[in-house]
Amino acid sequence: MTNNTDEEHLDKLTNTQSENVSGEIIPTKDTEIINPNQETENMEVHHHPDLHHKPKKWKEYFLEFLMIFLAVTLGFIAENFREYNVNKSKEREFMVALKEDLISDTAQLNLILPASDNQFEKLDSLYTLLQAAKEGKPFDIHRLYYLNFRHGLGLIMFVPDQRTLLQIKNIGAFSLITNKTCRDTITNYDYFNNAIAINSGYYKTLIEDMSKTAQKIFNYDQVKIYGFWNESTDIFLDTSLPLKLENSDKALLTEYSNKVRSVMMQLDALRRTEEIQFSEGKNLIALLNKEYHLE
């Protein structure tokens, strides 16, 4: 009896577990049924094409580099060539203009140099007459007056035509002058222009000082017509008035003769620089004609 009871209990327990297991795998009505075919279709819709290309060969990279390099290089060469032609054109224009200035300068100096030599000689004669007057010796007072008013009041000064040189310096165009010999010669010419300007300034100061002393010695009413611009212009004295020195004091005459001598010394320095400049100007014209074919 007991055995039967145990078997019945075991059968019930087994049936209960079987029902529970079966209950776990029975799907409910709300469970979504997955369709494998639908999932495959969705994957196919989102599929991306393969964008990877085959790697280029090194020859293709080299060819691209070579083409870029040649393009940049040729552009650089073309730009340099254009700039070179522009600079050469400007250089020639400057040299043509400079030659015109040099022709003007040498024409001036061609007139001034003989006049400077003549004035130096006449001032020396004036100095000699003043020495005689100072020592109380006989002297030609008419000539003393003439030399003082004709040659003791100044000389036409050399004024170089510097329009081209100033333009070259102001815009820094000396670098455009590629010919070293021409560049050095132009620099030297400019140096002597400055030297002449300095000497001319000293000369002018001494002449003005000498003239102030002359006003204490000579009677300016004696002069009827005055001029010293060229050899054809002269002075004429009023012969109706007696020629005499307004002041014949020895100390004053000594002071004046010393100032005449100082002017002569400065005039000598000035004309030496002008002689050098005259030669430099002619040589530079010849050099420009040769190097830039300006003849």
Confidence of residue 202 (pLDDT cuts 50, 70, 90): very high
pTM of the entire predicted model:
0.70
More confident residue, 254 or 38: 254
More confident residue, 264 or 175: 264
pLDDT at 25 over 50: no
pLDDT at 270 over 70: yes
Q: What is the pLDDT of residues 147-198, one digit of tens each?
A: 998 888 888 899 999 999 999 999 888 888 989 999 999 999 999 999 999 9
Residue of 85, 105, 81 lying closest to 193 (CA atoms)? 105
pLDDT at 50 over 70: no
Selection from 10-19, 63-72, 148-157 with the highest mean pLDDT? 148-157
Name the residue ranges covered by the structural domains of the chain.
70-292
pLDDT-wise least confident of 48-62, 144-158, 166-180, 246-260: 48-62
Average pLDDT along the chain: 81
Q: With both helix axes pointing from N to C terminus, report the angle between 180-214 and 250-292 in degrees, rounded to the nearest 10.
A: 160
